[in-house]
Amino acid sequence: MSLATTATRVWLTRSLRPFLFQSEYDPALDYAGCENLGLYVHIPFCRSLCDFCPYCKVKYDPALCSRYIDALLQEIRQVGRRCPGRKRVTSLYFGGGSPALAADRIGEIIAALEEHFEITEGVGMELHPSDLTEKTLRTLKAAGVTKISIGVQSFGQKFASLLGRRPPDPKAMARVLQKVPFETVSMDLIFALPGQTFPDIRRDIDTAFACGANHVAIYPFIHFTFTGSRVQPMPKGQKRFLLDAVTRYCQSRGYLRDSIWTFGKPGARYSSMTRDNFLGFGCSATTLLMDQFKINTFSVEQYCRRVGSGHLPTALTLRFTRRQRMVYYLFWTAYSTRVDPAGFERFFGVPLERMYGDALGLARALGFAEKKDGIYQMTGKGAFYYHYYENFYTLAYIDKMWGILRKEAFPREIRL
Ligand code: SF4
């Protein structure tokens, strides 16, 4: 693990205690009192598996997919029963995998969730470009999906090939998105691929907005050690130049930055990440509550078996210390590029400055953040260093954890 992530963790949590994930779970899952609770559903099936992709996914098999959805409905009932009445939640996001491969059963999943939860901010779904057919989009819309995020990665032949993909046809996308519109159409684009220049990314951004997007997520390429990808990440200096150029360009076009990597036309929003608490369903899905973080098994087979036996499919649980929870909260809230001290105080019952006045003072002195109208706003420099640190965090924590969970369905413990 990198020294930088360990030192930061020790400083911010004021403790040498690691993040300790153990093979146990809380069957009561007390989410009844949680404010700003989101829902996430993972559907791990893909037509073909991309080399560079770190997510939990398996090759699509209709019989396995149908068995998986049955198990998913069971998990939703098991968790839903733990709270009396219908719990008010913000949004529901479907990720994967390619959730649209189960398009015919998405309505059933949403209905099962709606028996226990009142969804107030719409339903989002990640789509593969090949899911963009009129029939599939109409089925999803009729089921209640209001926002979509299309994993384009790149419209250019050269960069799509680097990722083992065929570039999508923007004209065909524009036609179908015109016929079946959604409130938010986001497109994922990858930047920081070898040899990629600002004009390459600008072309992708322009093409995305021209063919129907009102929001884009421009993610840096991250090399996970357990993937088969041979694509090498771009050096830091070039990456910073690109991120700054992309930010300036999007802002000059009037697209608002709503997180480190996402920009949209006013009113368009797509983010499954910035929730104070969330419940995750399906294999590899995570659940974040006030005092715990739990992660479901990555094995589709074991997931179905465990849920079938009447138990939650939790593989590992982290019981937060209070400071660990605060750091987790701040890390993901900062992803939105702003931290509101009032939100922190509402959540933890103590003033932000009393807990982290030294870290915030340092962030301001280094030019990473400014305080405007009582809210900490990340500067362009801060956004780059957040992004840079997030890369370390991903490699030190997520890469290690996902690497183990891909091999072992229920590991005994993981220390990070
Ligand atoms: S990038 Fe998308 S389509 Fe490719 S393996 Fe990952 S989830 Fe599946």
Do 11 and 23 lie in a common domain? no
387 within some domain = no
Q: If you average pLDDT over each of 73-87, 141-155, 353-367, 387-401, which comes out highest?
A: 141-155
Domain boundary residue, one of 218, 242, 264? 264
Output the CA 243–ligand 1 centroid distance in Å.
24
What's the confidence (pLDDT) of residue 294? 95
pLDDT in tens, 93-115: 999 999 999 999 999 999 999 99
297 within some domain = no
Output the CA 10–ligand 1 centroid distance in Å.
35
**Residue range 228-245: mean pLDDT, rounded:** 81
Q: Which of 52, 56, 125, 128 to mutate to test the pocket of ligand 1 (most atoms within 8 A of CB)?
A: 128
pTM of the model: 0.92
pLDDT in tens, 378-400: 998 898 888 777 777 777 778 88
pLDDT in tens, 242-263: 888 999 999 999 999 888 889 9
Closest residue by CA, ligand 1 atom 2? 97
What's the confidence (pLDDT) of residue 76? 97
What domain range includes position 348? 1-17+323-382
Q: Which of 190, 193, 221 is nearest to 204 (CA)?
A: 190
C-alpha–C-alpha distance, residues 157 and 21, integer Å: 42
- The reply to whether ligand 1 has any atom less than 6 angstroms from the CB of 105 is no
What's the confidence (pLDDT) of residue 3? 66
Average pLDDT value for the chain: 91
Do 112 and 226 lie in a common domain? yes
308 within some domain = no
Do 67 and 215 lie in a common domain? yes
More confident residue, 229 or 194: 194
What's the confidence (pLDDT) of residue 273? 57
- The reply to whether ligand 1 has any atom less than 6 angstroms from the CB of 42 is no
Do 39 and 75 lie in a common domain? yes
111 within some domain = yes
More confident residue, 311 or 8: 311
Output the CA 162–ligand 1 centroid distance in Å.
14
Output the CA 255–ligand 1 centroid distance in Å.
27
Do 45 and 134 lie in a common domain? yes
Q: Which of 46, 165, 221 to mutate to test the pocket of ligand 1 (most atoms within 8 A of CB)?
A: 46
Instruction: Please state, for a pLDDT cut of 90, what percent of the chain lies above it.
Output: 67
What's the confidence (pLDDT) of residue 30? 87
| pLDDT exceeds cutoff 70 at 272 | no
Q: What is the CATH number of the domain that holds 238?
A: 3.80.30.20
More confident residue, 133 or 328: 133
- The reply to whether ligand 1 has any atom less than 6 angstroms from the CB of 151 is yes
pLDDT band of residue 235 (cuts 50, 70, 90) is: confident
Q: Are residues 240 and 391 in contact, defined by beta-carbon separation less than 8 angstroms?
A: no
Neighbours of 393 (CB within 10 A): 19
Output the CA 54–ligand 1 centroid distance in Å.
8
Neighbours of 157 (CB within 10 A): 11
C-alpha–C-alpha distance, residues 254 and 303, integer Å: 45
pLDDT band of residue 274 (cuts 50, 70, 90) is: low
Cα–Cα separations (whole angstroms), residue 104 to 4, 48, 108, 110: 46, 20, 8, 12
Domain boundary residue, one of 244, 264, 284? 264
309 within some domain = no
Residue found under tokens 């715990």: 292
60 within some domain = yes
Closest residue by CA, ligand 1 atom 3? 46
32 within some domain = yes
Closest residue by CA, ligand 1 atom 4? 50
What's the confidence (pLDDT) of residue 297? 97
- The reply to whether ligand 1 has any atom less than 6 angstroms from the CB of 46 is yes
> Number of structural domains, the chain?
2
Residues 6+ apart with CB under 8 A from 351: 341, 344, 345
| pLDDT exceeds cutoff 90 at 35 | no
What's the confidence (pLDDT) of residue 383? 86
Do 125 and 243 lie in a common domain? yes
- The reply to whether ligand 1 has any atom less than 6 angstroms from the CB of 165 is no
Q: Can you tell me which atom of ligand 1 is nearest the CA of 52?
A: 1
Closest residue by CA, ligand 1 atom 1? 53
Output the CA 46–ligand 1 centroid distance in Å.
6
Q: Are residues 139 and 148 in contact, defined by beta-carbon separation less than 8 angstroms?
A: no
Do 77 and 61 lie in a common domain? yes
Q: What is the CATH number of the domain that holds 378?
A: 1.10.10
Do 362 and 230 lie in a common domain? no
pLDDT in tens, 58-76: 999 999 999 999 999 999 9
Do 173 and 76 lie in a common domain? yes
Do 104 and 47 lie in a common domain? yes
Q: Which of 43, 58, 98, 149 to mutate to test the pocket of ligand 1 (most atoms within 8 A of CB)?
A: 98
What's the confidence (pLDDT) of residue 21? 92
Give the per-residue SS3 of the chain.
Answer: CCHHHHHHHHHHHCCCCCCEEECCCCCCCCCCCCCCEEEEEEECEECCCCCCCCCCCEECCHHHHHHHHHHHHHHHHHHHCCCCCCEEECCEEEEECCHHHHHHHHHHHHHHHHHHEEECCCEEEEECHHHCCHHHHHHHHHHCCCEEEEEEECCCHHHHHHCCCCCCCHHHHHHHHHHCCCCEEEEEEEECCCCCCHHHHHHHHHHHHHCCCCEEEEEECCCCCCCCCCCCCCCHHHHHHHHHHHHHHHHHCCCEEEECCEEECCCCCCCCCCCCEEEEECCCCEEECCCEEEEECCCHHHHHHHHHCCCCCEEEEEECCHHHHHHHHHHHHHCCCEECHHHHHHHHCCCHHHHHHHHHHHHHHCCCEEEECCEEEECHHHHHHHHHHHHHHHHHHHHHHHHHHHHCCCCCEEEC
Do 256 and 155 lie in a common domain? yes
Do 231 and 352 lie in a common domain? no
366 within some domain = yes
